[in-house]
Amino acid sequence: MTNQAERIIIFDTTLRDGEQCPGATLNIDEKLAIAKQLARLGVDIIEAGFAFASPGDFEAISKIAEIVGTEDGPVICSLARARHDDIKTAAAAIKNAAHGRIHTFIATSDIHLKYKLKKTKSEVLAIAEEMVAYAKSFTDDVEFSPEDAGRSDPEFLYQVLERAIAAGATTVNIPDTVGYTTPSEFGAIIKGIKDNVPNIDQAIISVHGHNDLGLAVANFLEAVKNGARQLECTINGIGERAGNAALEELVMALHVRRQYFNPFLGRPVDSEQPLTNIDTRQIYKTSRLVSNLTGMLVQPNKAIVGANAFAHESGIHQDGVLKNKLTYEIMDAQLIGLTDNQIVLGKHSGRNAFRTRLKELGFDLSETELNKAFVRFKEVADKKKEISDWDLEAIVNDEIQQAPDLFRVELVQVSCGSNAKPTATVTLRTPDGEELTDAAIGTGPVDAVYKAINRVVNVPNQLIEFSVQSVTAGIDAIGEVTIRLRHESRVFSGHAANTDIIVASAQAYVNALNRLYAYLQSPEQQQQLTAEKV
């Protein structure tokens, strides 16, 4: 392995900043599933959450620290404000990780000091120094961030960073919190830090940035050229507002253009050594998993992982690619884990062959998960002539990454046509084990199904998004349905895959309703309802 200063460290914040994206709330099991995949992807650090934010965040970080934070696994990090309680809670959450990090922050821009913190610069200097030292008393790995660094007074920024490093920060992160800077400006900020912070050689410079102007990835690449060695990013670029710098775009830019970036890391121009530790073949699978579990769909023209990223419609482009891929493709789709392989498994295939193929695809399932996935595979194999690896991934992800199993779809039956009123009958098994059936008329078959389900579940909600995607081509393709619904100010997502798109629609809706129902039944919510009544 190369020295850290000679490569780029990938800090993934999908489970912290990424989850702050409206509607992207994940339960503990879903966070753990993503964390396991991030470890397979090869990220160096997983920011697993904000421990002080809620008991759920604390539990998720603790579980990830214990299960994913192994000796040979990634560093597990918790965010903490520059406060004693935050830092103490973060330390408790990461204590079971073989390698744990506390990431503490305080704002440094004039606008934040005046309106948010209501503190002077000298007060912030003292707090930063004290809180970094306090975090250092729990772990040797401490990261400090001056929030809104992109709009901070440079001279004050240098002072804060110098004090934080002196107090024990081993990483200093420079956030463009509001996505305001341009690449040349951001690069200049990093260069200024390198030139004006006397003890900067004792810490790794990290960057964090939002994509409000669509410049986050470009800013980060310019930061690398000026000395940044850690990039804080998310899968598919999800996150607050317009999102974060996208991990897959950064990693592949550094991979495809490594000859350009090599000299900035002190390497020979022609060095073929990877600039990151990421296993690029895991990128597409990780993207799909995060998209499915968060309900945040990837736009077709999204760089690297979008459905059209390797598609060619122009006749000139098609002709060129057929003659030589390099004419119009700068990277091979297989580099990110995309293949067109058709598996030879069918309805007569055994469990061992099924397990072997899943392992080849990177799935490490428990016996219970394997059994559930195998039953679904057999059901699909009875309906489809050929099953692709993409179908397999959809089957497995749909079966093992479910919402809380409260209400369950037992029957969906619809009647519709050009001269008929769409009518649906549904039967749901309730959390108490009772089977309830109801029917409804809608503007279409899916609308009728959802109205019937609402009559059974009886939880007020507003459907705000309904999306259908085909996993593969063909009339017998598996259809994936993603829906998002709102209850009061919160958004809940649901996802399901099935060869019958009506059934998938029903299951996705019930998945979202189960998340909503579980939230309403949570102790935290029940306490709030009790307080409101009092």
- How far is residue 434's CA from residue 430's CA, in Å, rounded to a whole number? 5
Q: Which CATH number describes the domain made up of 7-294?
A: 3.20.20.70
Rounded Cα distance, 466 and 42, in Å: 33
Q: Is 38 helix (H, G, I), strand (E, B) or coil?
A: helix
What mean pLDDT is predicted for residues 458-469?
90
- Name the residue with tokens 């769409």: 422
H or E element, residue 465: strand 462-470
CB atoms within 10 A of CB 1: 6
Q: Is 3 annotated among the ligand-binding residues?
A: no
Contact between 233 and 13 (Cβ < 8 Å): yes
Residue pair 108/156 in contact by the 8 Å Cβ criterion: yes
Three-class DSSP category at 427: strand
Q: Is 244 annotated as a binding residue?
A: yes
Q: How far apart are CA 108 and CA 121, in angstroms?
A: 8
Sign, CA dihedral 290-294-300-302, equals negative
Is 458 annotated for ligand binding? no
> Among 295, 347, 258, which residue's Cα sits nearest to residue 490?
295
Residue 527's pLDDT band (cuts 50, 70, 90): low
**pLDDT tens readout for residues 116-140:** 999 999 999 999 999 999 999 999 9
Question: Would you say residue 529 has pLDDT above 50?
Answer: no
Residue 488 has what pLDDT? 87
What helix, strand, coil percent values describe the chain, rounded to 5?
A: 45, 20, 35
Say how far apart CA 61 and CA 58 lie, in whole Å.
5
The CATH 3.20.20.70 domain(s) of the chain lie at 7-294
Average pLDDT over residues 497-509: 92
| Distance from C-alpha of 28 to C-alpha of 154, rounded to nearest angstrom | 40
pLDDT band at 207 (very low <50, low <70, confident <90, very high): very high
The answer to whether 218 and 270 are in contact (CB under 8 A) is no
CATH class of 408-523: alpha beta
Residues of the chain above pLDDT 90, percent: 64
Which residue shows structure tokens 């470009």? 218
**Cβ-based neighbours of 207, under 8 Å, separated by 6 or more:** 173, 174, 175, 176, 186, 190, 219, 220, 223, 228, 230, 231, 232
CB 235 within 8 A of CB 247: yes
With beta carbons less than 8 A apart as the criterion, state whether 497 and 394 touch. yes
- Summary mean pLDDT of the chain: 88
- Residue 312's pLDDT band, with cuts at 50, 70 and 90, is very low
132 sits in the region (left: phi over 0; alpha: psi -120 to 50; else beta) called alpha
pLDDT in tens, 326-382: 555 678 888 998 765 445 566 667 788 788 878 777 677 788 888 888 888 888 878
Longest C-alpha distance within the chain, in Å? 78
Interval 384-390 mean pLDDT: 69
CA angle (484 as vertex; 481, 489 as ends), nearest 5: 175
pLDDT value of residue 314: 45
| Cα distance between residue 432 and residue 193, in whole Å | 60
Residue type, 462: Q
Which pair of tokens denotes residue 229?
Answer: 């060695």
Q: Which of 248, 124, 135, 228 is nearest to 176 (CA)?
A: 228
What sign results for the dihedral spanned by CA atoms 254, 257, 260, 262?
positive
Residues of the chain with CATH 3.30.160.270: 408-523
Highest mean pLDDT among 25-29, 390-394, 481-485: 481-485
The 3-state DSSP class for residue 161 equals helix
pLDDT in the model for residue 143: 98
Residue 405 pLDDT class (50, 70, 90 cuts): confident
Phi-psi sector, 295: left (phi>0), alpha (psi -120 to 50), beta? left
Name the residue with higher pLDDT: 410 or 297.
410
Euclidean distance between CA atoms 283 and 152, whole angstroms: 35
Q: What pLDDT, on a 0 to 100 scale, did the predictor assign at position 26?
A: 82
105 pLDDT more than 50: yes
The per-residue pLDDT for 311 is 67
Whole-angstrom distance, CA of residue 446 vs CA of residue 160: 56
Predicted confidence (pLDDT) at residue 533 exceeds the cutoff of 60: no
Exposed/middle/buried for 353, CB within 10 Å: 0-12, 13-18, 19+?
middle
Q: With cut-offs at 50, 70 and 90, classify the pLDDT of residue 4.
A: very low
Judged by phi (left if over 0) then psi (alpha if -120 to 50, else beta), residue 123 lies in alpha
Least confident of 51-65, 148-162, 287-301: 287-301
Task: Name the residue among 343, 347, 368 with its Cα closest to residue 356.
Answer: 343
CB atoms under 10 Å from CB of 296, counted, come to 22
Q: Give percent of the chain above pLDDT 70.
A: 88
Taking the alpha carbons of 518, 242, 155, 109 in that order, is the dihedral positive or negative? negative
| Distance separating alpha carbons of residues 42 and 215, to the nearest angstrom | 25
Q: What angle do CA 11, 137, 12 make, to 5 degrees?
A: 10
Residue 325 burial (10 A CB sphere; 0-12, 13-18, 19+) = middle
pLDDT digits (tens, 9 = 90+) for 218-250: 999 999 999 999 999 999 999 999 999 999 999
219 is in an annotated binding site: no
Mean pLDDT check: name the lowest of 52-56, 199-203, 207-211, 397-401.
397-401
Q: Which three-class secondary structure state does DSSP give residue 450?
A: helix
Tokens of 138: 């729990």
Backbone angles phi, psi at 289, to 5 degrees: -65, -45
